[in-house]
Amino acid sequence: MALMTGEEYVESMRKMNLNVYMFGEKIDDPVDNPVLRPSLNSVKATYDLAQMPEYEDLMTVTLEDGRKINRFANIHRNTDDLIKKVKMQRLCGQKTASCFQRCVGMDAFNAVWSTTYEIDKKYSTNYHENFKSYLRMVQDRDFTVDGAMTDPKGDRSLAPHAQPDLDLYLRVVEQREDGIVVRGAKAHQTGIINSQEVIVMPTVAMGPEDKDFAVSFAVPTDAEGITMIIGRQSCDTRKLEGSSMDVGNSEFGGVEALVVFDDVFVPNDRIFLNGEYEFAGMLVERFAGYHRQSYGGCKVGVGDVLIGAAALAADYNGVPKASHIKDKLIEMVHLNETLYCCGIACSAEGKPTESGNYLIDLLLANVCKQNVTRYPYEIARLAEDIAGGFMVTAPSEKDLRSPVVGPMVEKYLKGTAGVSTENRLKILRLIENLTLGTAAVGYRTESMHGAGSPQAQRIMISRQGSIGKKKELAKEIAKIRD
């Protein structure tokens, strides 16, 4: 099959029989639901962009066997692939100003690829061949795949096997000749309602007592026993009011779900890890590294839009030449480009794994994500500062259109000459959406907790920071002999 168009992708999702709940009710048509459709549009954009000649080099890859695939389904073969991944993610962020949801599947592909190779090498299992066949199917059908790693975790002071309720970490509850049966849940699943498939991975390193929890596999998202419960977002019900202005970004968005696996059957040929607990940590570390690299692209692209919106707000407020406004915009660009530098650096320093695919420099990837837990917050703060108080106190679009109060809104919320009140309100609503509204989940809050919260990166930086080697460097310069 050739690359899907955006419309073909949408039609493929109509054929899925997803079990989705939102606001306590089952959603029979997730594709056209007004709250959910913007998140589907963000994924659709990754298909639309792949059809455009000007973005072909970033959005697609031609494999050695001649197949042309979407880069989101690629196995990184060199540092050029890793760098283009980050550039592609920045592009997608610029075009959607939201989470476009395919990064987690791409990062899972590359982590599972190398980890299964090493499991097979030790145990003579067939996981790598299972995954190669699965990936070939995904590439040929141009599927979107959700990567599911984060368990609810319950009491975080306890290991998976020690939880009072064992279902708080996803686990194997039955081993059968033809496959396994799994039970549990995965939290914070961005984009799963817009994916045809889901890859499940363990969420922590594990010991022998956690063998049942050391499992990785793939199933269709509409497999029997899977239930998706949509998470709330700030201002989410504005999408039901019919005002594109009040939403801020009416076309694109993202949603998350708590995904419950209630005795879901997984056939043998879709199992990539099943009890080899000592490889759980490797899979987690590699996936986390790839996903932390991703944030040096996607969040930078959204940051580009936010910086542009803040600059427009300054124009519309009549203060683009104020020195403090110029300085704040410079600082926003500086912070945003610093994040991009980290994403490019960890990519350029990538090295091949035993399986042949390329892994980013893990230390630099963790530094990248550590910066992402901070800089978008400052970029958002500066945008809110430049925008001014009307960003959060402006009346609604209905008030603007009202024959009674509309003229008052038009008169008193007017900015600089030559700019309509409507356009001024539109840009303020976009900034609100990116910093406080539904998009803030995929920009500000996700910058903190996506791909692991700050302490997770600090642990990895501590492990990989080579303090011992740095001590030896200092001793050599200082002429210290022990």
SS3 of residue 285 by DSSP: helix
Catalytic residue among 115, 116, 125, 190: 190
Catalytic member of 103, 342, 346, 368: 103
Is 103 in the active site? yes
Contact 180, 261 (CB under 8 A): no
Residue 76's nearest CA partner among 92, 88, 90 is 88
Q: Which of 153, 114, 148, 151 is nearest to 131 (CA)?
A: 114
Count how many Cα atoms sit within 13 Å of the Cα of residue 171 in the half-sphere of its side chain: 21
| Rounded Cα–Cα distance for residues 424 and 420 (Å) | 6
Catalytically annotated residue among 118, 397, 432, 446: 446
227 has binding-site annotation = no
What is the layout of strands, in order, in the sheet containing 271-274? 145-148, 197-200, 215-220, 271-274
Task: Give buried/exposed letters for 122-149 (b at 16+ CB in 10 A, else e).
Answer: eeebbbbebbeebbeebbeebbbbbbbb
Whether 190 is catalytic is: yes
Residue 256: active-site member? yes
Is 341 designated active site?
no
Q: If we measure between CA atoms, which residue out of 412, 435, 413, 429 comes closest to residue 312? A: 429
DSSP-derived 3-state class of residue 82: helix
CA distance 394 to 313: 14
Of the residues 92, 99, 342, 368, only one is catalytic, namely 99
CA distance 145 to 217: 12
Instruction: Give me the catalytic one of 298, 342, 346, 368.
Output: 298
Largest Cα–Cα distance in the chain? 85
On whether the CB atoms of residues 158 and 169 are closer than 8 A, the answer is no
Beta bridge partners of 351: 359
278 is catalytic: no
DSSP 8-state assignment for residue 95:
H
Rounded CA-CA distance 93/97 in Å is 5
Instruction: Enumerate the β-bridge partners of residue 103.
Output: none
Q: State yes or no: is 235 an active-site residue.
A: no
- How far, in Å, CA of 441 to CA of 446, rounded? 6
DSSP symbols for 294-333: HHHHHHHHHHHHHHHHHHHHHHHHT-TT-HHHHHHHHHHH
**Are 201 and 147 spatial neighbours (Cβ–Cβ below 8 Å)?**
yes
Q: Active site includes 99?
A: yes
| CB crowding 161-193: b at 16 or more within 10 Å, else e | bebeebbbbbbbbeeeeebbebbbbbbbbbbbb
- How far, CA to CA in Å, does 147 sit from each of 56, 188, 221, 240? 25, 11, 11, 29
Q: Which of 76, 128, 188, 291 is catalytic?
A: 291
Q: Of 118, 197, 256, 432, which is the active-site residue?
A: 256
Residue 246: which residues within 8 A CB-CB, separation 6 or more? 238, 396, 397, 429
Among residues 134, 277, 290, 295, which one is catalytic?
295
Annotated binding-site residues read 190
Annotated binding-site residues for FAD read 190
Which are the catalytic amino acids? 99, 103, 190, 256, 291, 295, 298, 446
